[in-house]
Chains A and B, each alone.
Chain A
Amino acid sequence: MRESGALKLLTDTWRGRFGVAVILVAVFVSIFGTLIAPYEPEASSLDVLQPPSLDHWLGTTESGADVFSQLLVGTRVSVLVGFAAAIISAVLGSMVGIASGYFGGWTDRILDALENWFLVIPTLPLMIVLARLLDPSLIVLIAVIGFTSWAGTGRIVRAQVLTLRERSFVERARALGAGDGYIIRTHILPNTLPLIFASTVLIIAVAILSEAALAFLGLGDPTRISWGTMLQNAFDSGAPSAGAWWYVIPPGLCITLLVLAVSLLGFLYEEYINPRLRRES
């Protein structure tokens, strides 16, 4: 009953359909992008900054490479960094949140202070500093974004665990002699997972935007094309003042569509687990 309700939300609302469609396309392109790209994405040619044509559907870059091919190949970095960083963030956030809420006392005080600190510190400057110190690569980007974005999840998980801890089924298990590990595995975690999932979906969106921003500022993986590095190259080569809309609009639009799709699914899932949020329409 509940499961079919979740599916109905995905298939019966335009938000669900749009989100699922965009994400399916993005995942497909990130796997097969290198195969379907009509050109070698970094092959330079003499056709520099050419507008869209039958040969180059989205025109060419400042080095004469095919914009459409770069766009297809660049999908992989956004999808990979988005999902991987969100998973790191979810694991960190739920570990800290559960430990903090379940054990209480000094553990809670210290972890809560840590959480507050990460919530207050401006994220992009922190990411910039870390990425610059470590010299950017795909792994570094994933780690840096995951490491700086877990605090929100931690906060939500902690609040949920605080109420779960006092519930009768947990007290019953404890009275029967169940250990902390067992209680966390069988009672706390399963009842926290929906919240962890909801906040993780929204972090995917944040991670995609963060990767793009870092890449745009010159802190992307220098060996890989991503939508952020495309925007950086376009901007550095003066594509905006040359009026090369075909070069600057598509990467940003792809970022926007993917972030929008992920966010809409995230909000939809939040409404699903918390029906009070549901719109009347």
Chain B
Amino acid sequence: MSARWLTGKVAAAILTLVFVVIFNFFLFRVMGDPTTQLARLPQSTPDEIEKLKADYGLDKPLLGQFADNVGDTVRGDLGISQKSRQPVVDEILDALPWTLLLVGTGTLIATLLGSWMGVIAATRRGQKTDDAMLGFSMFTYASPEYWIGIILILVFAVWIPILPSGLQVTPGVEFSSWLAEAADVAEHLILPATAMTLMLLGQYFLIMRSSMVDVLTEDFITVKRATGQRWDRVVRKHAVPNALLPLVTLSAIQFGAVVGGAITIETIFSWPGLGELTFQAINDKDFPVLQGTFLIFSFGVILANLLADILYFYLDPRVQTK
């Protein structure tokens, strides 16, 4: 039963990924004319263009190109960046840890802070604290995350210059130890991670709040109260663990938004991750890199969805009996 369910989920995820590869190929090969992308100098002669086509295998029929492309993708060959002439895979692998660091920190803080705020608000429903938190999360939900990032720069790097406004590490500094370097990176991480946290916080808070409100009206909570246990103990031991479940699903759904936020926030802070790489590729019209980052972003989101499904399966026994 559970094995079958798991196989189904994994198969669906793989199928989605296969469609990404197919879509990716046709999008870039059919909608964008690769020869105009390759011949970046307008004065390229027809002979040169023919040679370029042969070099990139573009003189083959479309289906043959597609087979090549899928084969390359599976082997981890995502082509060569038109700008840097480096393999796209290397550029992605260089950028990936930085994105994971930023996204991980932001998501972690937003989850902890958001669920804590959700519990506070749900237990004080209709009071001033609740209203203030609702207003705050509606505002951060509606505002562009990169604008929040710019305001953070304005306040904490320009008006009160206590934090660096960009990059991941102070340039040109020889660090005495890895600890000193880590401290420097952490200092550079504060502002972008805060922007990322503020972007996610509203959603986490709203879900946790409404989930807590639901749980608090359930019978078992009334029963626990009737046994004479202290209220804050009932909330902590019985309500919160049950209310946390929807947050798991949300983290996965949010991952698409996280990816979008990574692109704009990394751009603002010159944070050398996948988002910054994407931004450079947009400006340089570097299509192989754009194709590669799109693939890796989709892969990340699909994987996150799958992990959330599996996690939910183990956390909520009700799913297993369905």
In the complex, are the beta carbons of A218 and B283 less than 8 A apart?
yes
Interface residue ranges of A249-270 to B (CB < 8 Å): 249, 251-252, 255-257, 259-260, 263-264
Closest Cβ neighbor of A264 among chain B residues: B138
The stretch from B95-103, B149-157, B242-250 touching chain A is B149-157
B19 near A: Cβ within 8 Å? Answer: yes
Q: How far is the CA of A102 from the CA of B147 in the complex (A)?
A: 43
Instruction: Name the residue in B20, B150, B302 with the highest tally of chain A Cβ atoms < 10 Å from its Cβ.
Output: B150
B159 near A: Cβ within 8 Å? Answer: yes
Q: How far is the CA of A126 from the CA of B298 in the complex (A)?
A: 9
- The answer, among A122, A231, A248, for a CB contact under 8 Å with B301, is A122
Given contacts A129-B27, A259-B143, contact A213 B260 (CB under 8 A): yes
Interface residue ranges of B16-70 to A (CB < 8 Å): 16, 19-20, 27-28, 31-32
> Using an 8 Å CB-CB cutoff, how does the interface string of B156-196 with A read, 1 for contact, 0 for none?
01110000010000000000000000000000000000000
Secondary structure of the B contact surface, majority rule: helix
B residues near A245, Cβ cutoff 8 Å: 154
A residues near B201, Cβ cutoff 8 Å: none
B residues near A242, Cβ cutoff 8 Å: 158
> Using an 8 Å CB-CB cutoff, how does the interface string of A194-225 with B read, 1 for contact, 0 for none?
00000000000100010011001111000000
In the complex, are the beta carbons of B260 and A217 less than 8 A apart?
no
Closest Cβ neighbor of B255 among chain A residues: A122
Number of interface residues of A (CB under 8 A): 44
In the complex, are the beta carbons of A248 and B150 less than 8 A apart?
yes
A168 near B: Cβ within 8 Å? Answer: no
Given contacts A213-B144, A213-B146, A248-B151, contact A129 B264 (CB under 8 A): no
> Using an 8 Å CB-CB cutoff, how does the interface string of A64-79 with B read, 1 for contact, 0 for none?
0000000000000000
The stretch from A4-12, A88-96, A113-121, A182-190 touching chain B is A113-121
> Using an 8 Å CB-CB cutoff, how does the interface string of A120-131 with B read, 1 for contact, 0 for none?
111111101110
B residues near A213, Cβ cutoff 8 Å: 144, 146, 260, 264
Q: How far is the CA of A280 from the CA of B255 in the complex (A)?
A: 33
A134 near B: Cβ within 8 Å? Answer: yes
In the complex, are the beta carbons of B285 and A240 less than 8 A apart?
no
The stretch from B228-236, B289-297, B310-318 touching chain A is B289-297
Closest Cβ neighbor of B260 among chain A residues: A124
B282 near A: Cβ within 8 Å? Answer: yes
Q: How far is the CA of A281 from the CA of B285 in the complex (A)?
A: 53
Q: How far is the CB of B240 from chain A (nearest CB, A)?
A: 22
A235 near B: Cβ within 8 Å? Answer: yes
A241 near B: Cβ within 8 Å? Answer: yes
Closest Cβ neighbor of A258 among chain B residues: B142
In the complex, are the beta carbons of A217 and B298 less than 8 A apart?
no
In the complex, are the beta carbons of A133 and B27 less than 8 A apart?
yes
In the complex, are the beta carbons of A120 and B282 less than 8 A apart?
no
B268 near A: Cβ within 8 Å? Answer: yes
- The answer, among A134, A217, A234, for a CB contact under 8 Å with B264, is A217
Q: How far is the CB of B194 from chain A (nearest CB, A)?
A: 15
- The answer, among B12, B255, B259, B302, for a CB contact under 8 Å with A124, is B259
Q: How far is the CA of A216 from the CA of B266 in the complex (A)?
A: 13
A residues near B298, Cβ cutoff 8 Å: 120-122, 125
In the complex, are the beta carbons of B20 and A121 less than 8 A apart?
yes
B278 near A: Cβ within 8 Å? Answer: yes
A residues near B16, Cβ cutoff 8 Å: 116-117, 120
B116 near A: Cβ within 8 Å? Answer: no
A174 near B: Cβ within 8 Å? Answer: no
- The answer, among B12, B144, B146, B259, for a CB contact under 8 Å with A122, is B259
In the complex, are the beta carbons of B158 and A235 less than 8 A apart?
no
- The answer, among A122, A134, A234, A260, for a CB contact under 8 Å with B139, is A260
- The answer, among B32, B259, B282, B285, for a CB contact under 8 Å with A217, is B282
- The answer, among A133, A241, A249, A280, for a CB contact under 8 Å with B165, is A241
Q: How far is the CB of A249 from chain B (nearest CB, A)?
A: 7
A residues near B32, Cβ cutoff 8 Å: 133
Given contacts A124-B260, A128-B278, A260-B138, contact A240 B153 (CB under 8 A): yes
A residues near B147, Cβ cutoff 8 Å: 231, 248, 251-252, 255-256
Closest Cβ neighbor of B146 among chain A residues: A216
Q: How far is the CB of A202 from chain B (nearest CB, A)?
A: 11
- The answer, among B267, B290, B291, B305, for a CB contact under 8 Å with A120, is B305
In the complex, are the beta carbons of A125 and B260 less than 8 A apart?
yes
Q: How far is the CA of A198 from the CA of B268 in the complex (A)?
A: 34
A-B contacts, 12 of them at CB < 8 A, read: A120-B305, A125-B260, A125-B293, A132-B287, A216-B146, A217-B264, A231-B144, A235-B268, A248-B154, A255-B142, A256-B144, A260-B138
Residues of A bordering B, CB below 8 Å: 116-117, 120-126, 128-130, 132-134, 205, 209, 212-213, 216-219, 231, 234-235, 240-243, 245, 248-249, 251-252, 255-257, 259-260, 263-264, 280-281
Known: A128-B290, A212-B144, A256-B139. 15 other contacts (CB 8 A): A121-B256, A122-B300, A124-B263, A133-B32, A209-B144, A213-B144, A217-B282, A231-B144, A231-B147, A231-B150, A240-B157, A248-B154, A249-B151, A252-B143, A263-B142
